[in-house]
Amino acid sequence: MPSSRSSDNKTVHALMLDPSSNDAEQTLNILRNSGLAVRATQVVNEDELTDALARQSWDIFLAKESCPQLPVTKAQEIIQHSGRDIPAILISDDFNAAKVSEAFDNGFQSLIPEDDAHLLETHVHRELHHLEDRRRRKQAEAQLNEAEKRCELLLANSRDAIAYIHEGMHIYANKSYLELFGFTSWDELECMPIMDMIAPAHHESFKDFLRQQSRTPNEMPYDFVGVESNGTHFDGSLSLSKASYDGEACIQVLIALRGNDEQELQEKLKELSNVDALTGLATRELLLTNLTEVINNAANNELNAALAYIEVDQFDEWETKLGLKASDEIRLSVADWLMEVATEQDTIARIGDHTFALLRSETDKEDFKTVCDKLLQSFSERLIEANKQTISGTLSIGVCIINEQSPDAEQVVYDAHAAANRAETGGGNRVRIFEDAVDGVSTDKQQKEALRQIQEAMETGRAHLLFQPIVKLHGDSQEFFQVLLRIRDEKDEPVPVSQLFPVTQGT
């Protein structure tokens, strides 16, 4: 199999249309044996499919044609109507060219013969890889959009006069540029030729400068006499460079203002770099700086602190359904809510596309767990307005407790992220505290899954004790009992002892 299986290290949520539980389990075993950690939900009718789509997001849809209550074409129509990006694979005992074409027409990505396990495995891995590529592209587009907003913010706050021109006409100018030439609004300057900003005596030399720049671009300055809107002249120096504005190639014009306080400008840029352009929260960089300080305080003063890694469970679903503009509205709403519930000592940061963090100094494990439980309750009750729709959702929160033994800031964030992943794979809407045996990188994949089952069973009441009498045939008649720990999985099925206890003994 190809090495590009990007889904091997995380849980795959599979939605299965299959009338037979045994056949569905056999399909799951094929995928699990190929290295995928699969969690599946079986549906057999339209109501179950609709409920499953409303409950969570899915990574793959596997459909058998033999389901009498819900035709595969109807099921695929429901999924497509939901607006979800869920790759669909049809499994059929009728495999021929016409059937493949029909499956494609109905929106399926693949048609697999029922008896070809290898082909099923290959196509599932391929579709998961393509899905991850699409999600990464969407995330990259969001990050690009955020970077562009940051650039616009930097341009707007720059004390240097900066403008963009296309075919000699102004298409953008910042406030400093407008003020330099005596304009009060962009409307006065829009589409005005840059030649009108240069004194007539310098027109020829400026044209020569433009021709030279087109042949051998460089940032050598050009000294000129500028003309303000009221006709007043001033001496200036400009430089040109290639740029892009709104996806269109253009030229950036930069006019350095005399008497600039370079230190003040650098401080302004540093301040802006610490603030998320969309939400106004702290950036990841500022969080790491503050987190490093908190870790040092914990080491020197034995003061515990905690970091919460916060993810919105339904964000991908909302973004797919409501669009990118709505996703920004959701991020802003989450940021506003965090600022409402945070205390003055907290650092609130946006550290990912839809990932936030809350850093609190001077707290302990139990108090902070209570705080995070209250965050879950508060967010689940909050109504969010996005794209003219009212929605509500849940969070997955991973917590890393900071003490004198804590590693560096990056590792603390990574550990909190690992705990958040456990909260999300457990169904979301829950808080999980980082446990090295369960979340740590030193534990292999099989051990991690077994330890996760033990942890989840203890937290959800699925662990229980059995007492077995021990009777001595000779000697002391005192009563003895062997105590056995047993757990049940998410389906309330007993987990084999051999699957669990070698792991616990090894830790």
Per-residue pLDDT tens digits for 141-177: 877 877 777 777 777 777 788 999 988 899 999 988 9
Distance CA 21, CA 208 (A): 78
Distance CA 309, CA 328 (A): 19
Distance CA 460, CA 231 (A): 77
Strand order in the sheet with 60-64: 37-43, 11-17, 60-64, 88-92, 110-113
Q: Is the pLDDT of residue 323 over 90?
A: no
Q: What percent of the chain has pLDDT over 90?
A: 36
Report the DSSP pairing between strands 233-245 and 355-361: unpaired
Q: In CATH, which of 3.30.750.24, 3.20.20.140, 3.40.30.10, 3.30.70.270 is domain 275-434? A: 3.30.70.270
Q: What's the rounded mean pLDDT across residues 387-412?
A: 90
Q: Name the β-bridge partners of 355.
A: 311
Q: Is the pLDDT of residue 479 over 80?
A: no
Which top CATH class is 160-260?
A: alpha beta
3-state secondary structure 404-454: CCCCCHHHHHHHHHHHHHHHHHCCCCEEEECCHHHHCCCCCHHHHHHHHHH
DSSP state letter for 394: -
Least confident of 117-126, 338-347, 356-365, 405-414: 405-414
Q: What's the rounded mean pLDDT across residues 234-248?
A: 84
Distance CA 290, CA 294 (A): 6
Mean pLDDT over the full length of the chain: 83
Give 2's pLDDT tier (boundaries 50, 70, 90).
very low
Q: Is the pLDDT of residue 369 over 80?
A: yes
Give 378's pLDDT tier (boundaries 50, 70, 90).
very high
Q: What's the rounded mean pLDDT across residues 60-81?
A: 90
Which amino acid, one-letter code, is at 206? F
What pLDDT score does 439 carry?
52
What pLDDT score does 266 carry?
54
Q: Is the pLDDT of residue 6 over 80?
A: no
Q: What's the rounded mean pLDDT across residues 333-361?
A: 93
What pLDDT score does 271 carry?
64
What pLDDT score does 88 carry?
94
Per-residue pLDDT tens digits for 277-290: 889 899 988 999 89
Q: What's the rounded mean pLDDT across residues 177-189?
A: 89
pTM score > 0.75 for this model? no
Per-residue pLDDT tens digits for 80-135: 888 888 999 999 988 899 999 999 999 999 999 988 999 999 999 999 999 999 98
Distance CA 39, CA 31 (A): 10
With vertex at residue 110, the alpha carbon angle to CA 108 and CA 111, rounded to the nearest 5 degrees, is 100
Per-residue pLDDT tens digits for 445-460: 555 566 666 766 766 6
Q: Which residue has the tokens 């969690």?
A: 39
Q: Is the pLDDT of residue 54 over 70?
A: yes
Alpha carbon 238 to chain centroid, angstroms: 41
Distances, alpha carbon 303 to alpha carbons 82, 299, 351, 411, in Å: 49, 8, 25, 19
Domain ranges of the chain: 11-137, 160-260, 275-434, 464-506
Distances, alpha carbon 232 to alpha carbons 176, 182, 225, 228, in Å: 17, 9, 10, 5
Q: What's the rounded mean pLDDT across residues 422-438?
A: 84
Distances, alpha carbon 362 to alpha carbons 292, 303, 348, 408, in Å: 14, 6, 16, 18
**Pairwise pLDDT comparison (466 vs 360), residue with the higher score:** 360
DSSP state string for 15-38: EEE-S-HHHHHHHHHHHHHTT-EE
Write out the two tokens for 435.
């446990």
Q: In CATH, which of 3.40.50.80, 3.40.50.2300, 3.30.470.10, 3.20.20.60 is domain 11-137? A: 3.40.50.2300
What pLDDT score does 498 carry?
60
